[in-house]
Structure 1
């Protein structure tokens, strides 16, 4: 199960806390308010029933003939009911209610002369039943006072408290999300800056912070980034200086090797084999120096891209057509993808992939350029044995030659060609990877975001 992010964990925790507090307050408010209102209503109903019972008792004691009219006047509303239980007689006024629907225990208390009150629901209407004895006639006076208004007030109060509790929980979640977002904003900026540095942008820095708690973090991070940038630039400058200084003696060595290669037929035996080994190593050394110069130049000037709209089909076709040997046909899609890039570096990307296929995998057998999901996709298939899964990431590292590590020979390479490919593609915001080609071999895939047209 996917775990919630820190921001949402904080938001949910604050929401649950708000919900708990609001629920506690709502329950306390409900108990206090409903209990108070109910007690007041019961006391009012009992006092009114006592007054009415005394009037009925007085009427029965004096022998008044207006008992029915009196009972009718005592019923205060359409939902109220007055019942007078006398030996062998039950008089009713107001809303007609079956006497059998009343609790027997309540009536027994009234007959024994014990006043009693109870809340009931009769015919779907909540009522307060008050039972009082009538001493003059050995009877029982029962008054059913409706609690409809009180019930409505309770319903409204309950819905109000429930809605307030839910709203408090949601507000807590929203407030927690906002507060955690504000608190994590520096961490987001730190993550973005670290990602940019990891992607090769050594100039990424955190903005100056006014919060004392964050000032030390920003200062330490920026100081670390400055030191890293200086170290990388120094290393790149050193590699560039060394490579540049090697070019003059290397040129002499290459020319001398070319002269010796032309006289190879005159040198036999062990000396001839040594000459072949020497010339192949000189050639590999020359390629390594050129690649080192390219890498150091890129490391020192990360933002020197000469960006222009480039038709990838035309660029790849030109590179493939300019190479010696059989021309590999270039497969294209329905539309020619265009990218915003540096033509020289993209030329180098295509050339290095073709060189890699030629030197290590029997040559390229297929080159394709097309659009896919908003990116220009270049595929170079070779006829080699393929790249093992455990080496597919390592081969783009500098000086990593995969299974040929430690080998020597003219076709081994310097271990920098694919590193240059990865570096140039990354500078264009793209990706490069290797996968298995259908039918065997390796397929090198470059994807660069297309330019807006």
Structure 2
């Protein structure tokens, strides 16, 4: 699922994600900027809340002081007019009009509501108020507070709505209510003062913009400083990675440039010392390996001449053994058998030395792998009859053709089949050595399956080692030299193919040879599974049980 999602992403997104995964500097800078942004946001929010609270508290104090002054002036004017006969409506206007005029010059609005005790809804036009003011600006809870006589002065926040030129506009504000009694009718009225918070809103917006600008500059500064600091650390690491890659590619003379005496410089110095030590040891190993390969090659060539002489004498003795006494005849037979084995060992050593020297060449041709398998099985049949082992070949319906070196492929299969016969369970008609073939458009595969002793945990990683044996005390019925599988793997690699092993103790083993159908092609898969079908169900049962301690082993070396 994740792979499908990755393929659906655009190339730009994939490049960005790859850069994010590979760049420590980018992750450090991004993490620092994000954490700094969180801290700056929290500090900025706290500062804004404090500034807002301070502005509102100051404005409330000013508003309450101004309302007290207005109410005091209104009461003085009403007391001065208390001895005259005045119309109620006119006295209301005389009370409200001066306040409205002063409010127009000072930026606040006024609403006169009442008289209290009479159910006259304010929103239905009851009372006097500043022109253009919408009476919905007076909150209902404020009206409910002044629904009787003798209420104390109160204030709250509101939204002041005005209608000008047919368009409604609103600003946040503070409304203060206070009651006054008219001498003309002796009734109590409520004066509402509505003070807009436009200036405070502008101040808060200015502070917000200043904080945002400062935060942006601070984050840019933090990002730049983090980038510079991480660059001083990451750049030497990147240089060390590049030098390490060159060393891994065989350029052992590459070194880091050491400047200064800080920790990075000391790390570079230690890295160079390590590279020098590795270079010296690798050269020593190369020289030792070259001497070893040369020794094996020279000894193998030098032994062929005396071996030829000894072979001629052994052939004469072997042919004349009929006239010897039984002990001498048996000695002649043993000498002939051991000379055969020694000659095979020399041939294998010479072949290994050619692989080590890089002198092995491929002679590919388009062949039918079915024919090669049939030849190998026919040649191995006497050994199988001697061991009482059945050998079965499962051919596909269509021929399996590939461009391979038939001599080398036949040698690989001969090693695999003889090993399978040598390790199979003898005298068991229900079990057999099974050879399977399959192919597709790109690859051809051959598997050799036996049901013998199998491979213990960890042995599948060593079966292709030179001179390795799973049981050193076990006799070599097939006369192996210990180099067969090593040579077989080198032959497979020379084709650009795979030679893999699977095995479990007591359940046998399976070897799979996979070759490209066209010479020089690259392998991506195999037409046959490495784990045999008759072992999959048992593997699942073991894994599901309480004693799941033997893993399935796969090796591709």
TM-score category of the 2 structures, normalised to the smaller one:
0.5 to 0.7
Other-structure match for 1:272: 329
User: Where does the alignment leave 5 or more consecutive residues of structure 1 unmatched?
Assistant: 195-202
Query: Which one of 437, 452, 455 corresponds to residue 369 of structure 1?
Result: 437
Other-structure match for 2:41: 26
> What SS does structure 1 have at the residue aligned with 2:288?
helix
User: Where does the alignment leave 5 or more consecutive residues of structure 2 unmatched?
Assistant: 1-19, 79-90, 162-169, 183-187, 259-267, 382-390, 427-431, 524-557
Distance 2:76 2:464 in 1: 114
Seen in structure 2, the aligned counterparts of structure 1 residues 23 and 50 have a Cα distance that, compared at 3 Å, is same
Distance 2:110 2:444 in 1: 91
Distance 1:121 1:258 in 2: 121
Give the deviation of 1:295 after TM superposition. Answer: 1.3
TM-score (norm 1): 0.67
Distance 2:101 2:365 in 1: 100
> What SS does structure 2 have at the residue aligned with 1:290?
helix
Seen in structure 2, the aligned counterparts of structure 1 residues 390 and 272 have a Cα distance that, compared at 3 Å, is farther
Q: Which aligned pairs between 1:377-388 and structure 2 lie closer than 5 A?
A: 377-382=445-450, 384-388=452-456
Q: Which aligned pairs between 1:23-422 and structure 2 lie closer than 5 A?
A: 23-40=38-55, 43=58, 47=62, 50-51=65-66, 54-55=69-70, 57-63=72-78, 65-69=93-97, 88=116, 94=133, 95-100=137-142, 111=153, 127=172, 129=174, 131=176, 143=194, 145=196, 183=237, 186-187=240-241, 190=244, 204-205=250-251, 208-209=254-255, 211-212=257-258, 213=268, 215-216=272-273, 218-301=275-358, 304=359, 306=361, 311=366, 314-315=368-369, 317-318=371-372, 320-321=374-375, 324=379, 329=393, 331-332=395-396, 336=400, 338=402, 345-357=408-420, 359-361=422-424, 365-371=433-439, 375-382=443-450, 384-389=452-457, 391-403=459-471, 405-407=472-474, 411-422=478-489
Distance 1:374 1:185 in 2: 41
Give the deviation of 1:445 after TM superposition. Answer: 0.9
Give the deviation of 1:238 after TM superposition. Answer: 1.5
Distance 1:420 1:412 in 2: 16
Pick which of 367-376 and 284-293 moved more. Answer: 367-376
Give the deviation of 1:85 after TM superposition. Answer: 8.8
Distance 1:343 1:15 in 2: 59
Other-structure match for 1:433: 500
CA RMSD of aligned residues (A): 5.6
Distance 1:187 1:332 in 2: 50
Other-structure match for 1:200: none
Seen in structure 2, the aligned counterparts of structure 1 residues 266 and 285 have a Cα distance that, compared at 3 Å, is same
Seen in structure 2, the aligned counterparts of structure 1 residues 452 and 299 have a Cα distance that, compared at 3 Å, is closer
Other-structure match for 2:539: none
Which structure would you say has the larger Rg?
Answer: 2
Distance 2:328 2:144 in 1: 126
Aligned residues: 419
Give the deviation of 1:40 after TM superposition. Answer: 3.9
- Could you list the per-position Cα deviations for residues 386-407 of structure 1 after superposition, in whole angstroms to 9, with x for gaps in the alignment? 444553333222111222x245
Seen in structure 2, the aligned counterparts of structure 1 residues 333 and 435 have a Cα distance that, compared at 3 Å, is farther
> What SS does structure 2 have at the residue aligned with 1:395?
coil
Other-structure match for 2:86: none
On the 8 A contact 1:305/1:342 being kept in 2, the answer is no
